[in-house]
Amino acid sequence: MPLTDGPRPAWPPAVPDREAFTALVRERGAALYRDLPWRNLDDPYAVLVSEIMLQQTQVARVGRFWERFMALFPTIDALASADTSDVLAQWQGLGYNRRALALKRTADLCAAERGGQLPCTTEELVQLPGIGPATAAGVVAFAFDRPSLYLETNVRTVFLHELFPNREGVRDRELAPLVADTCPEEGARAWYYALLDYGAHLKTQVANPSRRSAHHTRQSAFEGSRRQKRAELVRIVLAAPGIAVPELAERLDAFEQAAGRPCVDADVFDGIVADLVSEGFFRREGDLLFA
């Protein structure tokens, strides 16, 4: 089924027309195709794991993590049955630990309520923890090979580079109808692979076109950030379950001092620990913390 029933959107002027654009993307995509381990799979769960891992993480880093994770937790039921601490332990090195926690919660829900299966529509997928519109669209396109509106950074890069070469501040509401219009009714998977591979290539050849998106944000520095402190606390508690809070504070201070930074303010430390407990990363028993 087509993504929209209305008239086709107006095509930007003075750029390759729709047919020329799609032909160009297919040609470049074929030449630049990346044979990644999570591609051409009909397993929605395996695709979801890859899509979650690829959020804000480079493809080159994801490969070995995805293969190890899938070997340990090959199905939704296997992930649901695993201890959260084991899931977080396997996520270390990918960053953004919230993604692992959300993926575990999604597995728990699907195991309990859906017979260990993911839903097959974007509308249902976005109701699950940690799954936004782009991730849901990726599962629909890549696992089910059905049309979807998959608008992520590499796809955005291609459309900005080819169709809005001299525009700044282009909004997704302008891009989304064009992305939907070019997605074929058959072969959505191959089409988006072509866009992703061409977009990844463009970023190595020209100033990143996605910076001309109105939605582009520069990632804040990790070193010395609250995010780094959170990640280090998770790593310490995973390695030493049942660690006392004062000792955890001492270990975090040692980590900061080894990097040439001052000790962590007590209120900042208490706030991070409280956040990690409330978010489900830690379980607190008196003065002891467990992952």
Catalytic residues: 51
Provide the 10 A C-beta neighbour count for residue 218.
6
Euclidean distance between CA atoms 107 and 101, whole angstroms: 10
As given in the structure block, the two tokens for residue 72 are 């340990």
Among left, alpha and beta (phi > 0; psi -120 to 50; other), residue 224 is: left
State residue 213 phi and psi, 5-degree precision: -75, 145
Q: Side chain identity at 87, as an amino acid letter?
A: V
d(C-alpha 136, C-alpha 127), whole Å: 10
Say how far residue 217 (Cα) sits from the centre of its chain. 16
H helical segments located in 73-97:
76-81, 84-91
Point out which residues pair with 290 in neighbouring strands.
Answer: 283
Handedness of CA 217, 218, 219, 221 (dihedral sign): negative
CA dihedral 143, 192, 39, 118 (to 10 degrees): -20
Three-state DSSP at 85 gives helix
Among the listed residues 13, 17, 22, the one whose alpha carbon sits nearest the alpha carbon of residue 182: 22
Residue 11, token pair as written in the block: 């095509």
How far is residue 109's CA from residue 98's CA, in Å, rounded to a whole number?
17
